[in-house]
Amino acid sequence: MKTYFDAFEKPIFEFILDHIPDAITVVGVDYKTIFFNKVAESYFDVSREEIIGQDLRDFFPESLLPKVISQEKAYYNIFNKPREHTFTVISAVPIYNNQGELIGGLARDRDITEFVKLTEVLQKTQMTLEELEKEYQTLVQKENFFANIISNDSAFIKTINLCKQVSRSSMNVLIRGESGTGKELFVRAIHHESRRTGKFVALNCSAIPSELLESELFGYEEGAFTGAKKGGKVGLFELAHEGTLFLDEIGDMPLHMQPKLLRVLEEGKFNRIGSQNNRQVNVRIISATHKNLEDLIEKGLFRKDLFYRLNGFYVTLPPLRERQGDIVLLANRFLQQFCMENGMNIIELPDEIIEVLKHHTWDGNVRELRNVMQRVVLLAKENQSGKVVLGYLPDYLQHNTGYEESIDLQNESLESLLEAYEKKMLVQALEKFKGNKKKAAEYLKIPRSNLYYKIEKFKL
C-alpha cells in the first residue's frame, strides 16, 4: 500500500533536510556516511564530496553515531565536541527498515560553539571581577579615609589630624557636634585607620525602643522570652568583636541600660538575655551625641562613670556656620560628586549663588548643604543647564538670601532703611526657631517684651 510520502522523490527529501537549521548526518551500519546536509558542511567545515562514502570515524573520532549503531540506543541532547574548538548538542537515533533490521543511524547536531565561548568569557570575567574585588578590598584597607574629610579651616584641620593620630590607639572616642556636622564620617575614618580586624557596627540609640535595646546590643538565647527567634540572636557586641561599635546619639541611652554598657566597657564581658554564660569581647566604642552630656549628668539622666569611660578622647565638631571658608569648598566638592554620578559635565556656581550659600545659617550643617547640591545637580540635568540658577535652590534659600541687596539711598530715608533691616532680622529669627519667641528673643539679644512689641509693630 502506497503512502502519501511515496510520491516524494529523493531530491525533495534532500532539499528538506538541507534547509533544517541543524546539522544532519546519516550513516550506514558500516559507519560510512550516507548523507551530510549543507548546515553540517558549514558547522564542521567538511564538504559532502570529502565525507560521503567515507567512514565517519575518520573525520569525527568522538562522534556519537558509531555508539548509537553498536549499542542500538538513542541519545538526546548530549554535549558533544566533534572537532577541536567546536561544540554541539547532539541527538542521535538508530534507523530500522520495515523488517525491523538496523540499517544505520541519524544524528542532529545543534551548534553551541558561540554559547560555550561566551560562557568561558563570562567565567573569566567573573574571575576577573573577583580578583578586582579582592584588590579593591586591599586598597580600601590602605586608603586614607581622613582624606575624604576636606576643610580650609585651620582649627578643623587640627581636629582631623588629632582624630587620625588617636585612630591607632585603643581609646574610646566621644564625638560631639550638631546634627549633620559629619560625626559618622569621622567615626568610619577612625575605624578604618585603626586597622582593627573586626567589623564596623553602628547603632542609633534614639532609633531603637528602650525595651529592645538590650537584645540589640547583647543578643538573646533561644526561648529567652516569648517571640524569641529559634536559635537565638547574636548581639551587636558579638558582631563587632575585634572591631568598632558606633553608638550614635549616646545621650538617648536609657538610664537602666547604662550600667550594663558600663560593665562591658570595664570588664569586656556580657551575657546574652536568657543566659548565665559570660561572653568575652574586644570592642572599641566610639560614641556621638549632639546633646550636652554634662547637663544630663546634673539632671540624673546620664551616669558620670559611664561618661568618663566613653570620654577617653573627645572631639567637638564645629557647625558649618562657624567654618565659613568651607561652605563654598564643600559646595563645589558635592557639585563635582553629583555631576559625575549623573554623567554630567561639572556645572558652574555663579557669584550670586555663592553669596546666597555663604550667608545662609546652615542649621542642618554639611548634610543640608549636600542635599541642596544634590537638588541643584538634578534640576540642572533636567533643564540641560551648564550652571546653577537661583531657581534651582530650595524656596527658603531663594526667599531668604541673608544678605542686603543694593539700596537706592536717594529714595530711602535712614529711618525706613533701619526699620526694613530690623523687620528682616525679626522674620529670620522667627523662621529660624519656628516661631519660638523665647529663643528668637535670646538669639536677637533683646527682651521678650521688646520682641512682642516689634511683632505687633511690623504686623508679623
Give per-10-residue mean pLDDT for the chain (460 aa): 46 76 89 90 86 90 86 83 72 88 89 74 71 60 72 91 91 93 93 90 91 90 77 90 95 94 93 89 95 93 94 92 91 91 87 89 92 92 84 81 47 66 80 82 80 78
pLDDT of residue 246: 96
Contacts of 110 (CB under 8 A, 6+ apart): 22, 23, 88, 89, 90
What's the CA gap between 441 and 429, in Å, rounded? 8
| Predicted structure pTM score | 0.57
Strands 313-316 and 173-176: parallel
Q: Per CATH, the architecture of 4-111 is what?
A: 2-Layer Sandwich (3.30)
| Closest to 37 measured CA to CA, from 25, 54, 50 | 25
- Residue 58 identity (one-letter amino acid): D
CATH code reported for the domain at 320-398: 1.10.8.60
Domain 414-457: CATH class, spelled out: mainly alpha
CA–CA separation, 121 vs 119, rounded Å?
A: 5
DSSP string, 248-302: ETGGG--GGGHHHHHHHHHHSEEE-BT---EEE---EEEEEESS-HHHHHHTTSS
Q: Provide the phi-psi class of 138: left if phi over 0, else alpha when psi is between -120 and 50, else beta.
A: alpha
CATH architecture of structural domain 145-315: 3-Layer(aba) Sandwich (3.40)
Whose grid coordinates read 567637638?
316
Give whole-number Cα distances, 227 to 201, 231, 406, in Å: 25, 12, 67
DSSP, collapsed to helix, strand or coil, labels residue 221 as: coil
Q: List the domain boundaries for the chain.
A: 4-111, 145-315, 320-398, 414-457
Give the Cα separation of 217 and 158 in Å (integer).
Answer: 34
Q: What is the pLDDT of residue 7?
A: 45
Report yes or no: 335 and 377 within 8 Å, Cβ to Cβ: yes
pLDDT computed for residue 417 by the predictor: 67
